[in-house]
Amino acid sequence: MSQGLSLLFVVDPLPLLKAYKDSTVAMMRAAAARGHDIWACTPAELQWREGRVSARALRLQLLPAGEKAAPWYVELDAGARALAGFDAVLMRKDPPFDTEYLYATHLLSAAERDGASVFNDPRALRDHNEKFAVTEFADFTVPTLVSRQIEALRQFHADLGQVVVKPLDGMGGAGIFVLQEHEPNLNAILETVTHNGARTVMAQRYIPEIRNGDKRVLLIGGAPVPYALARVPRPGETRGNLAVGGIARAQPLSDSDRAIAEALAPTLAARGLLLVGLDVIGDYLTEVNVTSPTCFVEIREQTGFDVAAMFVDALEKAVSR
């Protein structure tokens, strides 16, 4: 684009971001390299008053990538600005999707009514629970049950043998249990994960191909990134999440990866989801991540493909419409 954009990133506190591997920082660097202005705020700094949503935001200068502990930005300016005054607002706050996250999406929807362009669309963020969203695309996933009834979960396990149970609001592998076919701790696990029937969970047939990795397939602007990042479990672990020590391995999309991505991409993009991270194990869809999908840096470092540049291309196109 001939003229730089003013971009506001709604993020976790900047000192908490691990710049050397953070996908949001990669986005900021790619956008700044094209002459776009980079601003940042946290959800706590959003406020509505008299029909307008504003935030106290910082304008940043992105420093060259250095050592892990090296400073990665300089504050150039700060002040309260209406979100509608930015060319784009990017919601990149990490889960958990708790009540404060929900309220932030309501504030962002109010900002849209005032004229702001928000990515991902806040209504779509509310409508797409990252676990439950797979139920809309059941043809691509394994047998699944969503319930908080312990007896229903027990019967699902009896019918299918080895299954996985997980909370609907978890992230990074937290709260995931693999129930073996002859599980001696079945009742205790189901009571724990459902909080004795008070919390709804998802159960899915276990997919043995997890040993080859839980693949993150990125959709940007309705198109798949040509490489997935397989998160391979370490020995003795059943979860591939990087947060619990999974080994990251970038690889070209398989035929089934691409088929799933191309089937879902038009629907998700039409809902205002500029960036989506599909989780695929073997040939099966397991999650649809929309809050703050990652893996940009790992894919670029291992393949040379610049995911952040593809994202900024899509963002520029979306803003110019």
Residues catalogued as catalytic: 131, 166, 216, 231, 239, 279, 287, 289
Give DSSP secondary structure letters for 239-308. ---GGGTPEEEEEEPPHHHHHHHHHHHHHHHHTT-SEEEEEEETTEEEEEE-SS---HHHHHHHH---HH
Cα gap 109→107, rounded to integer Å = 5
- List CB contacts of 166: < 8 A, sequence separation 6 or more: 131, 175, 176, 177, 193, 201, 202
Cα gap 245→261, rounded to integer Å = 26
Give DSSP secondary structure letters for 215-229. EEEEEETTEE-SEEE
- Tell me whether residue 304 is exposed, middle or buried, using C-beta atoms within 10 angstroms of its C-beta: 0 to 12, 13 to 18, 19 or more: exposed
Other CB atoms within a 10 A radius of the CB of residue 181 amount to: 11
The maximal CA–CA distance of the chain, rounded, in angstroms, is 64
Question: HSE of 137 in the Cβ direction (CA atoms, 13 Å)?
Answer: 25
Q: Strand, coil or helix: what is 320?
A: helix
- Tell me whether residue 146 is exposed, middle or buried, using C-beta atoms within 10 angstroms of its C-beta: 0 to 12, 13 to 18, 19 or more: middle
Asked if residues 71 and 55 have their Cβ atoms less than 8 Å apart, the reply is no
